[in-house]
Structure 1
Amino acid sequence: MLVHRNLSWSAIAYYTWKSMLYYLLLSVAVFLLHDYFEVIKLHLPFSTLTALSTALAIFLGFKNSNAYERWWEARQIWGQLVNSSRSWARQVITMIIPANAQEAQEVRALQKRMVYRHLAFVHGLRVFLRRPKAYNETRQEEIYEETNEYTDTVSFLSPNEYKVFCHKNNPPNYLLNLQGDDLRRAYDRGWLSDYRFVQLEQTLVEFNNIQGRSERIKNTPFPRQYSFFSRVFVFIHASLLPFVFVEELRWASIPVSVIISFVFLCLDLVGERTEDPFENRLEDVPLTALSLGIETNLKKHLGDRNFPAQKDSSNGVVL
């Protein structure tokens, strides 16, 4: 997630330079052919561009609004995961109660195992959501961390659990099943009453819902027709600009056409790079920072002071 108000022009140039080079060369070619070499005298009326610009602005505004809604929903989902994770740690520690003093150490070990397993769920869900997908067009250089390794979960799971976890089709869901098994054993041992068992089970259901809502955004692409036609319309609009301005502005049509093309190109790119919030890119929901925040909070619940190091955000990016 970008946090600085000012964006890096080098990053902007990285994503726009090919299109801008085309717009520049086209503007220069139209000017030379029209005014200098007098080969063509093609001139489009300004009203043509006005109608197209208005329609394109409305289309891009609609696309960007819906793309942002997807991003914001993803952020709300993970905000709910933060809150529910804190509730889970508190419930596990306060609601699972030993039946006698001899079982206190065993219960304490169970509480720590369940809280740590939840941390594995959080980190595992982050990696699971950032895995590559079939329709993903993201270039490899845009990825900022490994998306197919669950190494962050090693310290929170037993060796056997981790081995099975890594080979599951849906690793986070496997951990929720293990949590349910431990709850059932705690209930059978008398460490949970009926009411407390139901409360903890409801929290697990909430984690299932959070994962399911995240997977819905991940696995359902933004309608491809919006993305495709926005690129086509921006290309057509930018290609017509030099023919509209060359008659009146002469050589000045070159910078004017390029600047207007840049504006519409950036509007299109903003929506395109916002529509998929789990692709591990600069503009995505900061899953890594949220995961580390959850880990810190839950370790405080357990009295564990081995807090994770926070990622450096001095470059204006929170991952």
Structure 2
Amino acid sequence: MLLIQNIRLSRILINTWRVDLIMIASCTIAYFTREYLIAHHFQVSAIVPTVLGTAIAFFIGFNNNQAYDRWWEARKIWGALVNDSRSFARALINYVDGDNTTSITMIHRHIAFLYSLKASLRGTVDEIYIKYLTDDDLKEVAKHKNMHNAILNIQARDLQKLSKANQVDGFRFIEINEMLVRFSDSMGMSERIKNTIFPTTYSYLTKVFIWLFVVTFTLAISDTAGIAAIFLGWLIGFVFVSTQINGMSLINPFETNSAGVPLNSITRTIEINLLQMLEEENIPEPVKPINEEYIL
């Protein structure tokens, strides 16, 4: 997630340089094609790039709105996980009577749940969760493809044991179990966003329309702008391309990039909060920003 208000021009160029080269080549070909092949036969009307520009604006607007909706929903889900995690730990620490060993184990197991879910959403291998699980837990979750779901199942089983041992009363049992349900809901909503592919036709058609616009715009203004039409064609195309790429960077909010939801930072924040609530000494450091520009 970006931390600064102003985006560096270098980052924009890094994201668009390949498309920029294609646009410059297309504008150059379009200019010389008009000059030496079609200049004496017909003139490309300015209405053509005008209509294409309008269509592109609609497509980019739709794409970017949908992309931001996906990103914002993902951010809200993980914001809710932060709040629910703190409430979960607070309830286990303060509402469970007797020996607090099970409560500590469940809070550690919850941290493992978060790291396992994060790794699954990003398609990476993150073994931090291992240190927060007991040997028996590790053996059990190893049998499941969805490890974070298996962890929630163990949590529910331990909560039931606390209830049978009369270490938590009925009202508190319901309250803590509802938090487990919310964790499951957040997990399912996150997986839905990850597994739902944004329709590729929208992105593909937008790219095609931008290319057609750049070519027709260059053809339309070559008569009056001369060779400067190459630069002007690229410049107008750059505006559309950079806007479209900026929106598409949000389409997969759990990816490891500067625009994604900062799962590393959020998970580490929850880990720090919960360990401090347990008054443990070995507290990890917060995730540091990369180049003071963004955080993962």
TM-score range for the pair, normalised by the shorter chain length? over 0.9
Alignment partner of 1:313: what SS? coil
1:265 partnered with 2:241: yes
Give aligned pairs, total.
Answer: 293
Alignment partner of 1:3: what SS? coil
- Amino acid aligned to 1:292: R
Distance 1:95 1:163 in 2: 29
Corresponding residue for residue 129 of structure 1: 121
**TM-score of the pair, normalised by structure 1:** 0.87
Question: Retained in 2: the 8 A contact 1:23–1:261?
Answer: yes
Report the CA distance between 1:79 and its aligned residue. Answer: 0.3
Q: Residue deviations 1:105-154, cap 9 Å, x none?
A: xx2211110110000011111111111xxxxxxxxxxxxxxx1x231112
Corresponding residue for residue 295 of structure 2: 318
Report the CA distance between 1:236 and its aligned residue. Answer: 1.8
Question: Retained in 2: the 8 A contact 1:30–1:246?
Answer: no
Distance 1:130 1:220 in 2: 14
Question: Retained in 2: the 8 A contact 1:277–1:283?
Answer: yes
- Superposition pairs of residues 233-244 of structure 1, within 5 angstroms: 233-244=209-220
Corresponding residue for residue 221 of structure 1: 197
Corresponding residue for residue 13 of structure 1: 13
**Structure 1: gaps spanning 5 or more residues:** 99-106, 132-146
Report the CA distance between 1:166 and its aligned residue. Answer: 4.2
Question: Retained in 1: the 8 A contact 2:27–2:214?
Answer: no
Corresponding residue for residue 66 of structure 1: 66
For the aligned residue pairs, the C-alpha RMSD in angstroms reads 1.6
**TM-score of the pair, normalised by structure 2:** 0.93
Distance 1:8 1:279 in 2: 21
Q: Residue deviations 1:157-201, cap 9 Å, x none?
A: 113322442452111111100101111111111101111111111
Question: Retained in 1: the 8 A contact 2:30–2:215?
Answer: no
Distance 1:297 1:270 in 2: 33
For residues 163 and 11 of structure 1, do their structure 2 counterparts lie closer, same or farther at Cα, with a shift above 3 Å needed? farther
- Superposition pairs of residues 193-204 of structure 1, within 5 angstroms: 193-204=169-180
Work out the percentage of aligned pairs sharing the same amino acid: 33
For residues 247 and 172 of structure 1, do their structure 2 counterparts lie closer, same or farther at Cα, with a shift above 3 Å needed? same
**Structure 2: gaps spanning 5 or more residues:** none
Moved more, 11-20 or 168-177: 11-20
Corresponding residue for residue 107 of structure 2: 115
Question: Retained in 2: the 8 A contact 1:296–1:308?
Answer: yes
